[in-house]
Structure 1
Amino acid sequence: MKAVMRILLMTTLPVTVHAQEPRLFDAAGYRAAQHRGPVHRAPEGVGRIAPVALAGLRPDVDAIFVDVLPAEGGYRQDDGRWRLARAHSTIPGAYWFAEAGRAAPPAAILFAFQRRIAQLSGGDKSRMIVTFCLADCWMSWNAARRLRALGYRNVWWLAEGTDGWRDLGLTLKPVDPER
């Protein structure tokens, strides 16, 4: 009887473990779990830009640079200011929208992201926007997908993120999150 129980336990254990794995994508198609990992292609309707190509663009002139690295250990206060656990450096000229790359960011963060992008683009949905985070980070993929869903037509994704920028020997600049 004990041998039968062990066999049953061994055959059902993998199914139980598999059933407990988090869903990687939510119903809307945004990556909702395990945000650090290889990302093999840009979201539908979004172009992929190489770090060297981005280095040839002028921020706020040729494109809006959007960093969506999460504020790990930090949080957004009710007045929109951030309390950070550590400083962040980004590509010069980029705007840091902490937490805007989550599958379902809090409503206040999502609203602030949408409003500020509309301001930065002057309401021009054809304005070039480049999203990034770190290499192998789904947050920038989510942000690019979200911008496409909002009707922006010239969205690009820097898969290598700030890591790729640094790998070119280019410097990063300290930045505060957008309020």
Structure 2
Amino acid sequence: MRARIGLMALLLMPGVALAQEAGLFDAEGYRIAHYRGPVHRPPEGVGRIAPAAIAGLRPDIDMILIDVLPAEGGHRAADGRWQLAQLHESIPGAHWFPESGRGAPMPDIADWFARGVARLTGGKRDRMIVTFCRADCWMGWNAARRLRAMGYRNIWWLAEGTDGWRDLGRDLEPVQPARR
């Protein structure tokens, strides 16, 4: 009897794990909950790049750096300007698009992100774009996946984000949300 109960528990556990995992992603494969957690591989069609590799590239010349960390405690006003509760520091040369790494960003945020990236790339779908937030954060992953779905072909994901940059002994600098 005890063996039978143990076997049933083992059979039920994968179903429980799958049910929990299913609540983390939407039908399109974007992470929609618990954004802080290990991320083991980039989205399909996206490369992974190391902080040391970024250090050897020039922002806006060799690549476009896209920071998608949320504006903690801040919000976007109706006129599109951000009201920030605290300073945000990022990799020098990065363009900050708060909230655009969410699995389902608000429509105005998604539009602002799409238009901003199109402006930064000059509409060239093959420009190198690097997305990031912090280490163990799914928002940079979501943004990379979203850009790939939008037709950009040279997308890279910096899994270590600003934490990895700082671990290299590099400084972060204050950044404002990308212009509208």
SS at match of 2:118: helix
Deviation at 1:73, TM superposition (A): 1.3
Mark the runs of 5 or more structure 2 residues left unpaired by the alignment: 1-8
Partner Cα distance (2:71, 2:25) in 1: 21
Deviation at 1:28, TM superposition (A): 0.9
SS at match of 2:157: strand
Q: Aligned AA for 2:99? A: E
CA RMSD across the alignment: 1.8
Q: What is the TM-score when the length of structure 2 is the normalising length?
A: 0.87
Partner Cα distance (2:89, 2:67) in 1: 10
Q: Aligned AA for 1:105? A: P
Matched, 1:154 2:154: yes
Which residues of 2 match residues 130-145 of structure 1 at below 5 A?
130-145=130-145
Partner Cα distance (2:72, 2:35) in 1: 13
Matched, 1:93 2:102: no
Specify the alignment match of 1:111 in structure 2: 111
Matched, 1:66 2:69: no
Partner Cα distance (2:23, 2:96) in 1: 27
Partner Cα distance (2:91, 2:62) in 1: 15
1:80-105: CA deviation from partner (whole Å, max 9, x where unpaired) = 11111211000000000000000110
Partner Cα distance (1:32, 1:73) in 2: 19
SS at match of 1:33: coil
Specify the alignment match of 1:120 in structure 2: 120
Specify the alignment match of 1:4 in structure 2: none
Specify the alignment match of 1:5 in structure 2: none
Q: Aligned AA for 1:31? A: R
- Count of aligned positions: 165
Partner Cα distance (1:71, 1:128) in 2: 25
Deviation at 1:40, TM superposition (A): 0.1
Specify the alignment match of 2:49 in structure 1: 49
Deviation at 1:23, TM superposition (A): 0.5
Specify the alignment match of 2:40 in structure 1: 40
Radius of gyration: which is bigger? 1
Q: Write out the 4+ residue segments of structure 1 that deviate beyond 4 Å after TM superposition.
A: 18-22
Partner Cα distance (1:153, 1:31) in 2: 21
Specify the alignment match of 1:129 in structure 2: 129
1:106-138: CA deviation from partner (whole Å, max 9, x where unpaired) = 111100100010010011000000000000000
SS at match of 2:120: helix
Partner Cα distance (2:83, 2:119) in 1: 24
Partner Cα distance (1:177, 1:122) in 2: 19
Partner Cα distance (1:41, 1:53) in 2: 17
Partner Cα distance (1:103, 1:158) in 2: 18
